[in-house]
Structure 1
């Protein structure tokens, strides 16, 4: 699900307890390194955007937003956060999900409609669409193929021309499945994945599916929540980290979340 019943904030803190069904004792025994990103800059982010997809391409941030009746894709100036262009999905009422730019085309998933839309990345004009089975969550690409998540611990590689499934990979942390994989980014030879309803990002080996490191975004989450409160709105349980972009030229990641007022440019090990 993407909109569960309201949960207590305390239950959202231990990322692996939700993401992989790991007990507190098991969590303490894990040896996978946990890194805290170092913030190097901040850019404004639309606090109304329910961010589901996020990718930097050609100096533009491409963002996909969710919720029925509020979904869409947009082009945002990466340097200022200024909204440059937006459009609604070609099919009304769908719940928009992950986005990725490959070969000049912007791909957008939908949550439960089984539809992927394709747009010209420069104009956001629809150029095609595909059908797929199951749910759509996060989307990225490795320069050749699309990589998607569906809320499970499985990543799926798809042909960008046909959307045919070409590879699946189970994601594990010390042998245990890591579920709720959401927004994705391919950077530095790794797949990076937000774990839904947590402040954790998994760094995944695309050959083995093993989590090789975690990013702890709890400090960024607290800052985003504080700024939201200052703006006069109480953060919701699902105003969580969700959005990873890669600035290859600077060797940094761009991180944001659902309804966050900020995009954080950060440095992390492994890039």
Structure 2
């Protein structure tokens, strides 16, 4: 999600207070027990361990991220006039190919690849674009109601967020809603679900304007763990300040992708200069390797 591009001082202060209140309400202590979360048990807080750092386009207002299995990832970007989808080399940060969001007035949002098609959301236009995942030529358009934020796939259907506490499963052929679930932490709805990634039976979701990544049971909607990304945010912010381009209030963590052959996650943020490759407790490879998602 993009947010307001030129906020007033009052808006910034208000968002900050709301964000702090949300954190105070939902952030569990480090001593939380592990295991399945219930309405009365706080999910554990996990700290990702950085195993590699990769360059990332500092101008990219990242909205979606997915690793493609061949040393490249697909990324979508936001902001009107700057929105689009690109294929990027992980090790170098080089943009191999790109396409602008076809609607020039649109604010681009999440992207997900399924069945050789890259699906790309828009924030408020209610249009999803479909591109050939290899050529990035447009191959279709779909309509949906409400806002579009994050997008991922479980290998059969698309999973979409809209900034609320609801995740929606959609048919990739028609974009029709197949089912939905409300995401909760200790019985309370978790709002501002943003960029998504489906990994080993769980949905990982960035929470807009926070340093937290939720791991979600897609059947019950319960948060089963939180990932604390604050150290990554501090590093990205310090690097940006040293480069003379300090991060703004909404240059927050947004972008999560799974690298199956290494059992790692790729994490980045809006206008961050780094893609962090991290290990997460309990997350590994499947049979020692993984298949590209095309």
Normalising by structure 1, report the TM-score: 0.93
Q: Find the residue that maps to 1:7 and give its secondary structure.
A: helix
Aligned-pair Cα RMSD in Å: 1.9
Q: Which residue of 2 aligns with 1:219?
A: 231
Q: Which residue of 1 aligns with 2:250?
A: 238
Q: Which residue of 2 aligns with 1:172?
A: 184
CA distance in 1, matches of 2:217, 2:28: 20
- Correspondences of 1:96-175 after superposition (within 5 Å): 96-175=108-187
Q: 5+ residue gaps in structure 2?
A: 33-40, 284-294
Counterpart contact for 1:98–1:137, Cα < 8 Å: yes
Counterpart contact for 2:28–2:44, Cα < 8 Å: no
Q: Find the residue that maps to 1:265 and give its secondary structure.
A: strand
Displacement of 1:142 after TM fit? 0.2
Counterpart contact for 1:188–1:270, Cα < 8 Å: no
1:3 and 2:3 correspond:
yes
Counterpart contact for 1:12–1:197, Cα < 8 Å: no
Displacement of 1:233 after TM fit? 1.2
CA distance in 2, matches of 1:270, 1:164: 33
Moved more, 248-257 or 73-82: 73-82
Displacement of 1:104 after TM fit? 0.6
Q: How many residues align?
A: 266
Q: Find the residue that maps to 2:12 and give its secondary structure.
A: coil
CA distance in 1, matches of 2:177, 2:158: 10
Displacement of 1:270 after TM fit? 2.7
Q: Deviations over 1:70-129 (max 9, x none)?
A: 101000012221111111111111000000000011000000000000000001000001
Runs of 4+ in 1 over 6 A off after TM superposition: none
Counterpart contact for 1:181–1:193, Cα < 8 Å: yes
Counterpart contact for 1:119–1:125, Cα < 8 Å: yes
